Each structure stands twice: as C-alpha cells, then as structure tokens.
Amino acid sequence: MSNYSIQTKCVQSGYTPGNGEPRQIPIIQSTTFKYATSEDMGKLFDLEASGYFYTRLQNPTNDMVAAKICDMEGGSAAMLTSSGQAANFYAIFNIANCGDHVVACSTIYGGTYNLFHVTMRKMGIDFTFVEPDCSDEELQAAFRPNTKAVFGETIANPALTVLDIERFAKAAHDHGVPLIVDNTFATPVNCRPIEWGCDIVTHSTTKYMDGHGAGVGGCIVDSGKFDWWAHADKFPGLTTPDESYHGITYAEKFGLGGAFITKCTAQLMRDFGSIQSPQNAFLLNLGLESLHVRMPRHCENALAVAKYLKGHPKISFVTYPGLEGDKYYELAQKYMPSGTCGVVSFGFKGGRAAAENFMKHLKLAAIETHVADARTCCLHPASATHRQMNDQELTAAGITPDLVRFSCGIEGADDLIADIRQALEQV
C-alpha cells in the first residue's frame, strides 16, 4: 500500500507504465495467454508460478483496476467481479458453507437482502438480521456457534442508516469471525472501513466508482488483517488443504494477506465465472480517476437539497446522514467527516399521490432504478422496486408510501433546487 493521499491513489494507483508503455491502462482483450511449454502452464495451474492463463480467472486489465481499489481502501489484495451482487455473494460464500450462519444488518440493499434471505438460504446458509442501532445484547444474541461472518453497509441503500463499524467489528472479532462491509455509498474517498477494524470490503462499482452509469461491476478487497489461523476450526477452507487445487492450503501458501482473495479467485471465480469484462474494467478506471473530485460535489449538492427540503411546508420528513439533526448525523461525522453520499430521501405531507405527482414534474432529475450517477436521478420505491408490497408492508420495511429516493448528481446545486421548487409548486 502506498502512502499517497486518497486523491493521488484515485488517479495513479494500480498501474505504473514502464519506458515507452501506454500511459492509460491497456485493455487486454484476450481470453487466453500463450506459453512456450506445457510445463510452464502446469506451474500456473498449480499456483506455483503467478501469471495469466485464462481471463475467467484473471486478466491483467482487471488486476490493475483491482490493485487501484485495493490501494484506495488500504487492503492487501482485491479482485473485480461482474457486479456488486457477485461481490457480496462471493465474499460470504468464500467463508460460509451449507450449515453455516451469518449475522447481517437488516437495512441492507434490497438485492443483497434477497440474495441472503432467499437464495443463499436455499444453499443452506442461514442469516440473522439485526437493526444497525440494536442494543449490544441484541447484537450478542444474534451469534451462534456456526456463525462465520458479520455483514453491513457503511451507508445503507436506500435506508441511509450509518453502520457503527467499530462496534460491529468488535462484536465480530469477539466471536472469532470477520466483519464484511459494503462500502458502495460512501466510497473510499469518504470512508475506509478497514481503518475502523473491518476485515473485508465489498463494492458495487456500478455506483459512484463508475459514476457515469456506464458499466455494472463489483469488487472485493481483503484487509489481510483477519487471522484465519487463530480460528482455524471455523475456516477450514482457508486453513486445510484444497483437494480441488492440488492440496494447497491457502493461508499457508499465500499468507494472511493473500489467502482470502486467492481462494475466492481459484475456487469461486473458477466455478461460477462472474468476471468483469476488461472493457468494463477500463471504463471503471476512468471513473475512479475522478472519484475524489466528484464525491465532494455529490455531497455538497445533497446537503443543499436536504437543507432546502427540510423547512418546506409540503415535505413531511428528510433523511440525510450529512444533515445536522439526522438520526445518524453523529455516526456520520465520526466515520465520514468530509462527506457521506449524494442520496437524500424525503416524504410528502400529501402522501403517495404527492410523491408521484412531484416526480412527474421534475425536468433535470430523471426517474431511474439507478443511483449514484453523475446525473441526478430519483425513484419512488413504492411504485417501482417495492411495488409488490402494500402500504403496511412498506412501512414495516422502513419505506413509507410517500418516500422518494433522490440521488444528487454533480450538476449545479441551484439548478437542482430550482427544479425541485418548480415541481413542488405543482404538487
């Protein structure tokens, strides 16, 4: 890991060209790589030598971009995946098997909740969901002897709750398991969970990291700090020989810094194949180069929008962790002193109809399922992503029928507020 600032890492980490080599990272658009002898190739298959042989496992372009994100998060190793969904699935499945259990925050992204609650349960992995602000007793009570990990989001999408990373890391470590944090909304520009005791970081790079709505992608970063040997009985996949890889013991051969990501690549990427295309990795890197310039503007615009809406007579509530008085303001100040994210949610005194009516009249803010884009976009969960729920179910899920999720882009704040103002006048 380099000692440069996060700004410099965004621009320069991951790739340093040699004399006469391309300045921009090359797109290695090749499925396969050539070797002189079968013996050379055999060494790669045995993980005896490092090198590329097939892009489903590793590709140089992807590795350069993963190395940049790794440096930004302060990790020891990282890998790209085809999506954020794949990143979270791999991060858990790399250490939890059929018969195991995971403690997860209840306010996580809906897609991740579904993955855990429905799909991974079918695979025999059980989950206990806890509120991010549950008591210490409730948190302790969620653990079982077969618990293998704790999972949460730095800033939850779309609930905008803030995870007390130190508290959840301590609980995880007291039970001999790692804390996995999805850092999609904060990005390493605003929060580096590893500095607060988190062990593994995941991302949907689709959001701010790409930042332009160009490519779906994900990333997993390992801190290299979790001691698999100290809890060897819980993590046999890392501490005993892998028969599907010539008897390699990952934590022995690759050390604490390399074991998790090497196993994840050698087993899960080999078997499931959720790779990111090198083309998309190139686009992701373009986004990363300006991430540290865009994030402050996203946050500035969101704070301006939140402040404007807070006092408005037609608005019933405003949720934004960067806004003084918000339930999570103090935690946000602790973990993200230079800004949180660009997403604000709010509700209407006129209820569901007012929310729908408001959105119809917006001119700059587009109605999209997307968030965290350079262009402002918004969504009415009750009529889109959470459409199947009735009003009671919505309220139980913390999503009131009048809630609008508003993702501030990097346009001029005055224009965004003027757009909101004219739309509110027609409600």
Could you tell me which stretch among 199-207, 231-239, 384-392, 410-418 binds ligand PLP (CB under 6 A)? Answer: 199-207
User: How far apart are the C-alpha atoms of 205 and 87, rounded to whole Å?
Assistant: 10
> Is residue 178 at the binding interface for ligand PLP, with CB under 6 A as the rule?
no
C-alpha distance across the termini of the chain, in Å? 52
User: Which one of the spans 12-20, 179-187, 284-292, 337-345 is the region binding ligand PLP (CB under 6 A)?
Assistant: 179-187
Min separation Cβ 200 and ligand PLP, Å = 14
Look at residues 340, 298, 309 and name the one whose alpha carbon lies nearest to residue 403: 309
DSSP 8-state secondary structure symbol assigned to residue 76? S
- Strands 343-348 and 315-319 turn out to be antiparallel
Contact status: 112 vs ligand PLP (CB under 6 A): yes
**Which CB atom, from 112 or from 277, has the smaller least distance to ligand PLP?**
112
> Amino acid identity of 408?
C
* CA pair distance 129, 103, nearest whole angstrom: 6
Judge contact between 386 and 397, C-beta under 8 A: yes
Residue position matching structure tokens 């079968």: 38
Q: Is 84 in the site for ligand PLP (CB under 6 A)?
A: yes
CA pair distance 116, 148, nearest whole angstrom? 14
Three-class SS of residue 104? strand
- CB crowding 377-409: b at 16 or more within 10 Å, else e: bbbbbbeebbeebeeeebeebbbbbbbbbbbbb
Interaction residues for ligand PLP, span 143-162 (CB under 6 A): 153, 157
Options 15-23, 38-46, 106-114, 288-296: segment touching ligand PLP (CB under 6 A)? 106-114
200-204, strands of its sheet edge to edge: 77-81, 218-222, 200-204, 179-182, 147-153, 101-105, 126-130
Pairing assessment for the beta strands 366-367 and 218-222 based on DSSP bridges: unpaired
**Strand bridging mode 404-407 / 377-379:** antiparallel
Q: How far is the CB of 180 from ligand PLP (least distance, A)?
A: 12
Contacting range for ligand PLP; rule: CB under 6 A; set: 11-19, 51-59, 178-186, 233-241: 178-186
Site string for ligand PLP, 215-254 (x = CB under 6 A): -x-x------------------------------------
Of the pair 262, 276, the CB lying nearest ligand PLP is at 276
In the bound state with ligand PLP, the residue whose beta carbon lies nearer, of 180 and 303, is: 180
Could you say whether residue 210 binds ligand PLP (CB under 6 A)? no
- Smallest separation, CB 248 to ligand PLP (Å): 30
Give the one residue of 61, 94, 184, 340 binding ligand PLP; rule: CB under 6 A. 184
CB of residue 182 to ligand PLP, shortest distance in Å: 5
Question: Taking CB under 6 A as the rule, does residue 373 contact ligand PLP?
Answer: no
Nearer to ligand PLP, 91 or 130 (CB): 91
CA distances from 109 to 47, 255, 400 (A): 36, 32, 16
Q: Residue 83, interface with ligand PLP (CB under 6 A)?
A: yes
The nearest distance, CB 16 to ligand PLP, in angstroms, is 28
In sequence order, what are the residues at sequence separation of 6 or more whose Cβ sits closer than 8 angstroms to the Cβ of residue 281? 27, 59, 61, 62, 64, 65, 80, 217
Cis ω for the linkage preceding 158 (within 30 of 0): yes
Q: What angle do CA 168, 125, 397 make, to 5 degrees?
A: 60
Q: Least separation, in Å, of the C-beta of 111 and ligand PLP? A: 5
Quick check: 206 binds ligand PLP (CB under 6 A)? Answer: yes
Closest separation in Å from C-beta 276 to ligand PLP: 10
State the nearest-atom distance from the C-beta of 108 to ligand PLP, in Å: 7
Pick the closer one to ligand PLP by CB: 218 or 347: 218
Q: How far is the CB of 220 from ligand PLP (least distance, A)?
A: 12
Interface pick for ligand PLP out of 9, 68, 167, 207 (rule CB under 6 A): 207
- Is 407 in a helix, a strand, or coil? strand
The site for ligand PLP, by CB under 6 A, has a size of: 16
Q: Which residues bind ligand PLP (CB under 6 A)?
A: 83-85, 109, 111-112, 153, 157, 182, 184-185, 204, 206-207, 216, 218
